């Protein structure tokens, strides 16, 4: 039996790599996208070898016009088939606010974080044969789409636009696709937070915990298999979306 094929954008590093590793465990063949290169980080590379996963990496700069179609062409050219699952994980993250927002930067955020995922979805729908089993698309969002703060404005607006596309695409593509979203909370901190600050932020969460990358990956696997679910967003955030925060987490919990 042929393994189902998953395309994970941003799938060679950080959270994307954890999602890819979980899908390898679940028996998927993997098309892994990277922006500047498509070399899996070490832990993912080990998992791919351990599982014997059929995988290949594909580099594509999402700021260049036509990137979505080119990426699908690359994947089909290598595997000889279109994906059964697309996880739109690739994104950019800026630090602007209402006083510093720049038109070109805003356009770049919308291009990478919103336009390319939507175009990948509609391209998959166009190429999916009529009458075949529905494919699945999952957008990686952010818990702040429910209660935005004043920081990272271009990023937030672009993720809100992508979140808004979930229901519209679920309706427009329902004959061939299921479309859902996963909205994580603070997950990987990359050394930006001290131990005391992280402990204070954790205590602010209704569940008194922050999500781990594997929690997000588990939600991806559930939605990939949930054949009766479409147009939904699952928050994987320790309950952060149930509260409002005036600033981004990096500014909180320092006292």
Provide the residue-wise pLDDT of the chain in tens; the chain has 255 residues. Answer: 799 999 999 999 999 999 999 999 999 999 999 999 999 999 999 999 999 999 999 999 999 999 999 999 999 999 999 999 999 999 999 999 999 999 999 999 999 999 999 999 999 999 999 999 999 999 999 999 999 999 999 999 999 999 999 999 999 999 999 999 999 999 977 678 888 999 999 999 999 999 999 999 999 999 999 999 999 999 999 999 999 999 999 999 987
Query: Collapsing DSSP states into helix, strand and coil, what is residue 36?
Result: coil
With the CA atoms of 93, 109, 233 and 172 taken in that order, what torsion angle do they form, in degrees rounded to the nearest 10? -160
Partners of residue 177 on adjacent β-strands:
135
Q: Please name the CATH architecture into which domain 5-191+210-248 falls.
A: 3-Layer(aba) Sandwich (3.40)
- What does the alpha-carbon distance between residue 185 and residue 143 come to, in Å, rounded to a whole number? 5
**Residue of 5, 46, 10 lying closest to 216 (CA atoms):** 10
- What does the alpha-carbon distance between residue 140 and residue 18 come to, in Å, rounded to a whole number? 13
* Residue 191, pLDDT score: 75
> Could you tell me the CA-to-CA distances from 201 to 39, 134, 162, 190, 244 in Å, in that order?
33, 40, 26, 15, 13
- What does the alpha-carbon distance between residue 10 and residue 6 come to, in Å, rounded to a whole number? 12
Cβ 72 vs Cβ 82: under 8 Å = yes
- What does the alpha-carbon distance between residue 166 and residue 145 come to, in Å, rounded to a whole number? 13
- What does the alpha-carbon distance between residue 116 and residue 104 come to, in Å, rounded to a whole number? 16
Q: Compute the C-alpha angle 15/68/104, nearest 5°.
A: 80
* Residue 105, pLDDT score: 97
Q: Compute the C-alpha angle 35/38/39, nearest 5°.
A: 135
Q: Compute the C-alpha angle 88/186/219, nearest 5°.
A: 45
- What does the alpha-carbon distance between residue 178 and residue 230 come to, in Å, rounded to a whole number? 5
**What kind and span of H or E run contains 52?**
none
Q: Compute the C-alpha angle 30/32/37, nearest 5°.
A: 155
- What does the alpha-carbon distance between residue 175 and residue 186 come to, in Å, rounded to a whole number? 35
Buried b (16+ CB within 10 A) or exposed e, 143-160: bbbbebbebbbbbbbbbb
Please count the residues of the chain.
255
pTM of the prediction?
0.97
* Residue 189, pLDDT score: 75
* Residue 194, pLDDT score: 86
* Residue 1, pLDDT score: 73
Residue whose token pair is 């990478």: 112
């Amino acid at each position: 039996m042929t393994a189902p094929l998953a395309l994970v954008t941003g799938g060679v590093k950080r959270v994307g790599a954890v999602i890819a590793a979980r899908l390898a465990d679940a028996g998927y063949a993997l098309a892994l996208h990277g922006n500047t290169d498509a070399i899996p980080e070490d832990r993912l590379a080990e998992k791919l070898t351990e599982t014997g996963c059929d995988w290949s990496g594909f580099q594509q700069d999402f700021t260049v016009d036509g990137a979505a179609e080119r990426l699908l062409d690359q994947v089909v050219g290598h595997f000889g088939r279109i994906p059964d699952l697309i996880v739109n994980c690739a994104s950019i993250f800026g630090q602007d606010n209402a006083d510093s927002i720049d038109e070109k930067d805003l356009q770049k955020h919308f291009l990478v974080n919103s336009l390319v995922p939507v175009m990948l979805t509609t391209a998959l729908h166009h190429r999916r044969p009529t009458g075949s089993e529905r494919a699945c698309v999952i957008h990686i969002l952010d818990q702040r789409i429910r209660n935005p703060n004043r920081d990272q404005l271009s990023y937030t607006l672009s993720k809100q636009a992508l979140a808004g596309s979930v229901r519209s695409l679920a309706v427009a593509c329902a004959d061939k696709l299921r479309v859902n979203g996963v909205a994580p909370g603070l997950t990987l901190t990359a050394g930006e937070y001290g131990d005391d600050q992280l402990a204070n932020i954790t205590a602010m969460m209704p569940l008194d915990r922050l999500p781990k990358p594997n929690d997000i990956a588990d939600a991806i696997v559930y939605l990939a298999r949930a054949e009766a679910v479409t147009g939904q967003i699952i928050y994987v955030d320790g309950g952060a979306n149930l509260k409002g925060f005036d600033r981004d987490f990096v500014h909180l919990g320092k006292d």
